[in-house]
Each structure stands twice: as structure tokens, then as C-alpha cells.
Amino acid sequence: MEKKQYDLVVIGGGPGGYVAAIRAAQLKMKTAVVEANHLGGICLNWGCIPTKALLRSAEIYSYLHKAEDYGLIVSGASFDISKVVQRSRNVAKKLSTGVQHLLKKNNVDVVDGHGKLSGGQAGSHEITVEKNGKPHLDLVAKHVILATGARARELPHMESDGKLIWSYKDAMVPEVVPKSLLVIGSGAIGIEFASFFRNLGAEVTVVEMLDRILPTEDYEISAFAQKEFEKQGITFITGAKVSDLKKGAKTVTAQIESADKPRRITVDRIVMAVGIVGNTENLGLEKTKVKTENGHIVVDEWLRTDEIGIHAIGDVVGAPWLAHKASHEAIICVDKIMKQKDVHPLEITNIPSCTYCMPQIASVGLTEEAAKVEGRQISVGRFPFMGNGKAIALGEEEGLIKTIFDRETGELLGAHMIGAEVTELIHGYGLAKTLETTEKELMSTIFPHPTLSEMMHESVLDAYGRAIHI
């Protein structure tokens, strides 16, 4: 069988893998990407991008029902779920084609098939590419980057069937909008689907094992979010777990156990959103020194495994499971391989997190609780959307921006937001953290008026008793 020689072979063409390949090509490495399904990975094809297209449709539909608040008259508003889904799939297809173009433009070879390590040694790793379960091509490379991503976690005896019990993939291509829906898990994925289906009219219940929804977010933001979602009609059951599911002909009955009382809920559909697990199987890792732990590949700060020349990035190396984290790791990994100057390890607290529900949620850095656990003396600022002219003009008065500073040094420790378009604002605080900006520099920054971004400034001012508009 033919053996093709490369400087780098990337296994997986998602937002980590294809970025790594393009960066390597920029640095004059002969590079190949091996991808078994779709370029762009889960994020582009079945995650970040198509879900945002779905949520946009639901957002517009919800605004149509509030048209009179804006002095507009709209009657008979309805939706066609098949066209909503088709638009989402078209968006994903367009971007996947774009990734293919970028790889071709950068002279990266794209190999169709499943790649796995099949032998070799430091400086010469062999990768066998399989199609339809049969080997059809061997590649050899000095360096290999594993960027195989992750898949939805399944609960025992509650596996998705694509009919009554949905995975996130199933929930993205519904043939009908169920009248009632149970979402198991209240992380970003669960909340986004809860928001989407509620805005299209479904009766939605969310079950969360921990004592609050969105448990990785700041406690205050989490509480604010729950109140807003409850106003929209979403029901939450926290501190509870689903112990059993019984499928009927057209409905599912869930047995829910909680501290107060057990209960049964019968719904048309269930969405499983209980986390993800890394794709570490069938990669030939058993032939290497690569270690796995809790379903993820173990790497050092430079994304190196214990096998010289084999690296791993993205969801397969663990949380946070975010596309932009994978892309950033890709650059770090390749730049370190090529001994570029000014390469820095990933700083986890500088990674922004966004949830695209209504209202949106975004954060970066430490929560107030985490800062206190670290023993920090902190100053906390808050500014409500109802105090901002642009928010009022938009009709988006429900929201909050919260900033947390180290009282002694002025270091920005964290920022947490809920409200309209906060996912487009959070990068400002992310940039501030990367630049190690202090409160004085943020206070001295001129924010344009009228914008939502002015609330970022006011929140910083409030942390030091200097807010003007509250």
C-alpha cells in the first residue's frame, strides 16, 4: 500500500484540526488532514453554527409576537419547522464548503477516511487511513495531532433512539415541534434547546442534577437566568435526576428523583444534554505511550502527549469543550512544534464562554464564588440593562453586567453578563484580561454612546463606587 510522507498529519478536521493544518501550512510544513465525516467537525456541522441558525429563527419568531411593543402590526405569524431546519442545514453546508476552500488554498491535503496510529517511532509515526472499515492508505509523519473531538454522553438505559429520546443531533432536525419537551441537563446545550423549543411554543421542563441551572456560570447570573426563563414559561427541577424512562407509543414518562419528592412527567420528547466524552477509541493509542484519563487524552501545557511527536487538542483533551478553545490550542501546538517565538500556554481563565439562549449569557474568568475560594479580596461592580439607553431603545431592558476585580491590584478577575447581544460584548473583557488591564485603564477607556458596551464601563465604575447612571 502507498505511503505518503508528511511533516504533520492532523486526525480530525474540526475547529481544532483544520486550524492546526492551516497554521502548519503557513509555517511551510507539508500537512494532511484526515477526516472521516465532514470538514468543520461537530461545531460547524452539528453544533455551534447550525444551532445558532435555529436559535435565530426562534428569536425572530418571538419578536413577531412582540411586534406591537415596537409600534408594528403583525398578524397570523407562524412557522414551518422543515424550512427552519433546512435553513440551518444550508448554513452548515456553506461553511463546511468554506473550510474545504481554505485548506485547498493553503495546500493542505485532505484525506477522506478514519485515521488511526498504526506504528512507527519518534520522528516517524505511521497513520493508517480506513474507508468502510478497510485500510486504503498509509501516511507517515514526524508529528501527529489528534483532534478527534467528542460525542454526546449517553446515560445507561436512556440512550437516544432518534424518535422519542433525542440526542442534540436529533433535536436539531425535528420533523415537528413537540407540544411538550423534557430537557435533561441545564448546561449551555440544554438551555439553548430549551430556549429554542419554548420560543416555538413547546411546554418545556428542564431537569438539573445540581442545585441550580447553568452551574458553571456565576451564581448571580444563574439565578437571574432562571427567573427570566421562568417568566417565559420554562419549568425547572433542580437538585434532581431522572432515574428511569418508560417509552410509550408516542410519549415518554420520566421518573424524577429529588430531595423534596419523586415525580413522574410524561412528555412528547426528551432531549439528552448531559455532557460529552472524548473520541479516544479506535485511534491506535494502545500502541503508544499516550495516556487517557476519564475519557480524554492527557497532554501537557504544550498539548504534547507522553509519546514524542504525538499531540492532542480540542474536546478530546477535556474541558472547556469550546470551539475557540480548540482553535487556540491548535495555534499553540503548531507554533511550539515549529519553535516560534512568544508562544504562551493556554490560560483557561481567559477563555470566554457563551450561551445563545434568550436572553444570552456570556462570561470570562473567575466567578465571584471562585474568587472568594481563592482567598481574593474583591471589588464587584454591577450595571443593569434597564439603566442603558440603547437597551431601552431596543426593548431589551432585562439584563445585567457584573465585573470582579482584585481589590489590591486592580486585576480584572472575571466578567459575567446576561442580556441582549452579550455574546458580542464579552470579547472586550477577554481582551482586557489578555492585556492584563487594570480597573484604571478600563475606567479611562472611552466607550461609544449609545451602545450596550457602555454598560461594561459602568459596571467597572460601579466596582469602585463611581458609576454615573445608577
How many structural domains does the chain have?
A: 3
Residue range 324-337, pLDDT digits in tens: 999 999 999 999 99
Same-domain status, 15 and 123: yes
453 in the same domain as 311: no
> Same domain, yes or no, for 48 and 146?
yes
26 is a domain residue: yes
pLDDT digits (tens, 9 = 90+) for 217-227: 999 999 999 99
pLDDT-derived band at 154 (thresholds 50, 70, 90) equals: confident
The verdict on residue 345 lying in a domain is: no
pLDDT band at 205 (very low <50, low <70, confident <90, very high): very high
The pLDDT tens digits of the residues spanning 59-117 come to 999 999 999 999 999 999 999 999 999 999 999 999 889 999 999 999 999 999 999 99
pLDDT at 2: 65
**Phi/psi at 337 (5° precision):** -60, -40
Span 111-128, mean pLDDT? 89
Residue 1 pLDDT greater than 80, yes or no = no
pLDDT tier for residue 157 given thresholds of 50, 70 and 90 = confident
Any domain includes 353: no
Domain edge (last residue) among 274, 295, 329: 274
- Closest listed residue to residue 48, CA positions, set 189, 216, 255: 189
Q: Specify whether 35 is located in the same domain as 138.
A: yes
Nearest Cα to 43, choosing from 14, 1, 80, 64? 14
Beta bridge partners of 141: 6, 125
Q: Does some domain include residue 183?
A: yes
Amino acid (1-letter code) at residue 433: K
Q: Do 308 and 225 belong together in one domain?
A: no
Task: Say how far apart CA 272 and CA 277 lie, in whole Å.
Answer: 14
Contacts of 461 (CB under 8 A, 6+ apart): 381, 443, 467, 468
Domain span holding position 226: 165-274
Res 44: pLDDT: 80
> Does residue 348 belong to any structural domain of this protein?
no
Residue pLDDT, tens place only, 237-288: 999 999 999 999 999 999 999 888 899 999 999 999 998 899 999 999 998 9
Share of the chain above pLDDT 70, in %: 99
Q: Please say if the pLDDT value at position 178 is more than 70.
A: yes
Torsion of CA 227, 188, 366, 240, to 10 degrees: 60
> Residue 88's domain is classified under what CATH number?
3.50.50.60
Whether residues 114 and 87 share a domain: the answer is yes
Grid coordinates given for 53: 441558525
Write down which residue in 241, 259, 274 finishes a domain: 274
Same-domain check for residues 9 and 110: yes
Is 203 in the same domain as 217?
yes
What pLDDT shows up at residue 148?
A: 96
Whether the ω angle into residue 359 lies within 30 degrees of 0, i.e. cis, is yes
In a domain, 342, yes or no: no
Mind telling me the catalytic residues? 449
| Residue 354 included in any domain | no
| Residues 144 and 11: beta-carbon distance below 8 Å | yes
Q: Which residues contact 21 (CB under 8 A, 6 or more apart)?
A: 8, 10, 13, 31, 32, 33, 103, 106, 108
Enter the C-alpha cell of residue 157. 438505559
In a domain, 469, yes or no: no
Do 45 and 147 lie in one domain? The reply is yes
Residue 285 and residue 145 in one domain: yes
Both 432 and 299 in one domain: the answer is no
Same domain, 286 and 243: no
